[in-house]
Amino acid sequence: MTTGDSLESYIAELEALARRLGLDHYPVDFELAPSSLMTEIAVYGLPIRMPHWSFGVRYIHQLVRQSMGHSRIFEVMFPGDPCHAYLMDGNTLAENTLVAAHVLGHADFAKNNLLFARFHEQAGGNIIEMAAAHARRIQQAIDEFGLERVEAVLDAALALESHVDVDMELHRSPYPTRAPERKDPGAKDAFHERFDRLTTGTEAEPPPASPQRLPLPPHPEHDLLWFIAQYGPDLEQWERDVFFAVRAEALYFYPVFACQIMNEGWASYWHARLLREAEFLPQPLYLNAIKSHSDVVRPFASGAQSALAVNPYHLGFTIWEHIAEKHGMERARQICRDEDDFGFIRNYLDRELAGKMDLFTYAAKSDGEIRVAARDLDAIREAILAPKFNYGAPRIAVTELCLDGALVLAHEHNSDGRGLDAARAKKVLEYIHRVWRRPVRMNTVDATGEALELAA
Amino acid sequence: MTEPGSASPPARPSRIAAETPWYELFSRGARDWLRHNQKVREAVRGKLPELLAGGDLITNPQNRTVLVPVRFMEHARFRLLDPGEHTGAGQGKGEPGQVLRPASQKDDEGAGEPGTEGGEVRFVLEFNLDEIVEWLWEELKLPDLKPKRSATLDEPDYVREGWDKRGARSRLDRRRTVREAVKRRAMQEAPLAFTNEDLRFRQLVRRSTPAINAAVIFALDVSGSMQEQQRRLAKTFFFFALQGIRRQYARVETVFLAHAVEAWEFQEEQFFQVAGGGGTTASSAFRLGLEVLDQRYDPSRYNAYLFYASDGENASEDREAAAGALAALAAELNYAGYVETDGSAFRPKETQMGELFAALKDKGGPAGAAKLASLDDVWNAIRAFFRDQATAAA
């Protein structure tokens, strides 16, 4: 029996076992991929994605990391119906068996977690095809309009990648252009009919002659990609499409981003459990696989005493084991459905677990000195979650689309706690300006807290 | 669509595909990396004069490429101001206040700060020198050199022209020969691999070609008053002047003259190491230059250029002699450029050499002068000379 054959039969048996244990997932298309493709997926987030020079920089960083042995990619899974999982063809059979079990955990999570399910419902279950279609359309645009022009649009759109409103739908309709009309005076309810009969003789107040044009946007709009694509006065249709494509991919990435700890923990919990209960696996293979498992979920590199980051696999795995033990699988599945990392960490990382895991917060000064700051639970939770707020980006909203077409952005420095890096912000405004083509302004504060207006 | 949470078995079993034929064929990462490098090149190109003014690039003129260290381009995003002190979550033993890593260790690997991607990584791009000179000429909007009219005399030379069935073995054209053999074999039954009839030889003919040779005389004042810094400026200037001339002419020959009281010719390697001393007699260099031109570079076949670098001082008793020698030399030159490496602040506005070249120019001679106080001036000087030279030749 070849490696592929035994892997295939193990996967079939693991899947049957998973179903018996209550996992519920869309079918998974597994594929053995060369490490070159795995590297690209790690860089682009998707097997086929639009071209942009910034990915080239990440690609080199990734190659450097891999060559130094810091990074090894075992598996990537794309949720959908069917899910697509890429296993590295250089993995051993034991590793790939473990990874396949891990993927089944992800597949279950992606079908049941509401953030994932919501995107699945809106976009249909084939993100790979969708991204490939985007890439193809962008390539067509490059052929038609030239690389420089398309690149300028992608410079802006990808820079704003995280600036989407994740609570909004994938296909969002524009704001109503007029104030909602007063109810048709003809269609009166019973109360008004009786009321009118009481006050005989007086005419009903006529509706205002011209309904006022509503200000744009009617409220601060955080969905910058959508707003620019929807309301950019001088954008061509293909440019809007590029923005919508980047936005769709950003909405796809959001559940992965916002549930990373839960999702990796859930998959790790299930690969451990599936392997433990998989009596069909030969003993040596099980031992090798479980050794890989302990490498994946260990808190810090072997030999180290501490780590300045919390391994999400380890953190999620520990919390899920705790939940399953203390509250039972029924409850665990409900949490898996309803929460994202914010709720998961705040509700289920308790003092006992934080103590058991030796979690702490640290402070790193600019001179390089790093100290343990505290072992306070709230501080730990917030330090874990801080990089995840607002999709990891500063809170920035469109506040006004002026009559001359100027775009006014505001940075909500009060909620972010400090101002923006002005040089980078100016660069981004320049990217936007090249597409928006009218003035772009932005309000934030400088290092001293003084109001600062940037413009491009 | 299945409602989330309803535990129904998958519609079909999962499957595994082993064939992944196309993945190796095309690398998106490499494509985007090349595009990044292209953008870096464009950016570098815009700042080329400043970058090259780094000076140390001109170590080996034989090496036709230079390595320019560049930084990765950053695709900007909105980001908060650097707070000065980062906080994060970690795991392990240790009491609050305990130092995990002492100060001034510039290794932020694994620090878990958002956005720091392994610190700053630099890489080196290799630029072809010809490409750089090409950019530079565009950047500085320099005109092409114009060969002297009198130097466009035709010069008979052997050039390749046509093929013959007979000839010297050394001129056998293998490709042609095989082609003939293939043609013949296609026509014959049971053909021989090669026959004498297949052989083709390149033929040479004597043809007149325009003179595209240049001789460049670099003359350097190595008297005691020239300091190291001034020599470096002169060297940089000479280098780029030479690149500009190489750009135009097929064959460029260089002559390196150094002088203090007397002048000698040097090899390029020793030229910048020469240290003289004592007084300065510029006329010696001009006379030697003229001698070299007369002996080796027939003015009907060579376009001759002189670049002279000096701190401007010359023995006052040599003034007349220098003026005479320069005028005689200039008569045979396409262009004479003078750069004054201005080292000290305490000096007369017009030096003797400056006056001599100015006088030559006033008389309509093909000459120009510039001052070099810093590396920035090198670009101005290059620009000035190549423009001047174009007007002088017109």
B4 touches chain A (CB under 8 A): yes
ipTM score of complex: 0.87
- Is B55 within a domain? no
Range of B171's domain?
A: 154-210
Across chain A, what does the average pLDDT equal? 89
- pLDDT above 80: residue A30: yes
Quote the CA–CA distance of A265 and A45 in Å, as a whole number.
20
Residue of A nearest to B83 (CA): A418
- Is B148 within a domain? no
Quote the CA–CA distance of A28 and A22 in Å, as a whole number.
16
Residue contact A361–B83, C-beta within 8 A: no
**Residues of A in Cβ contact (< 8 Å) with B83:** 418
Residue contact B80–A421, C-beta within 8 A: yes
How far does the CA of residue A108 sit from the closest CA of chain B (Å)?
Answer: 9
**Total domain count for chain B?**
3
Where among B168, B183, B210 does a domain terminate? B210
Residue contact A310–B89, C-beta within 8 A: yes
How far does the CA of residue A184 sit from the closest CA of chain B (Å)?
Answer: 39
Could you report the average pLDDT of every consecutive run of 10 residues in chain B (394 residues)? Answer: 44 68 76 89 71 49 64 90 87 86 58 41 71 71 62 64 88 93 91 90 78 83 76 80 79 86 82 74 88 84 86 82 87 85 61 82 80 76 76 63
- The answer to whether residues B220 and B320 belong to one domain is yes
- The answer to whether residues B175 and B248 belong to one domain is no
Average pLDDT over residues A274-301: 89
Residue of A nearest to B6 (CA): A24
Report the pLDDT value the prediction gives residue A74, as an integer from 0 to 100.
78
- The answer to whether residues B193 and B310 belong to one domain is no
- The answer to whether residues B194 and B340 belong to one domain is no
- Is B59 within a domain? no
Q: Are A112 and A340 in contact (CB under 8 A)?
A: no
Average pLDDT over residues A387-398: 95
- The answer to whether residues B252 and B230 belong to one domain is yes
Report the pLDDT value the prediction gives residue B132, as an integer from 0 to 100.
73
pLDDT in tens, B4-24: 444 455 557 777 775 655 666
Report the pLDDT value the prediction gives residue B21, as an integer from 0 to 100.
58
Q: Which of A5, A8, A54, A158 to mutate to test the interface with B (most CBs of B within 10 A)?
A: A54
Report the pLDDT value the prediction gives residue B155, as an integer from 0 to 100.
61
Report the pLDDT value the prediction gives residue B116, as an integer from 0 to 100.
38
- Is B17 within a domain? no
- pLDDT above 90: residue A422: yes
Residue of B nearest to A125 (CA): B1
- Per the model's pLDDT, the better-predicted residue between A180 and A82 turns out to be A82
Out of A301-310, A380-389, B32-41, give the one with best mean pLDDT: A380-389
3-state secondary structure of A333: helix
- pLDDT above 50: residue A157: yes
Q: Which long-range contacts (CB under 8 A, 24 or more apart) does A444-450 make?
A: A444/A410, A444/A411, A444/A413, A444/A419, A444/A420, A445/A411, A445/A413, A445/A418, A445/A419, A446/A419, A446/A422, A447/A418, A447/A419, A447/B81, A449/A419
- The answer to whether residues B223 and B326 belong to one domain is yes
DSSP A29-64: EEEEE-HHHHHHHHHHSSSS----HHHHHHHHHHHH
**Residues of B in Cβ contact (< 8 Å) with A25:** 10
Residue contact B110–A307, C-beta within 8 A: yes
- pLDDT above 80: residue A202: no
Report the pLDDT value the prediction gives residue A4, as an integer from 0 to 100.
61
- The answer to whether residues B229 and B249 belong to one domain is yes
- The answer to whether residues B261 and B292 belong to one domain is yes
Residue of A nearest to B88 (CA): A383
B75 touches chain A (CB under 8 A): yes
- Is B14 within a domain? no
Residue contact B112–A308, C-beta within 8 A: yes
- Is B56 within a domain? no
- Is B86 within a domain? no
Whether pTM exceeds 0.80: no
Q: Which of B32, B35, B121 to mutate to test the interface with A (most CBs of A within 10 A)?
A: B32
- The answer to whether residues B257 and B295 belong to one domain is yes
pLDDT in tens, A322-331: 999 999 999 9
Average pLDDT over residues A223-246: 95
Nearest to B99 among A158, A371, A428 (CB): A371
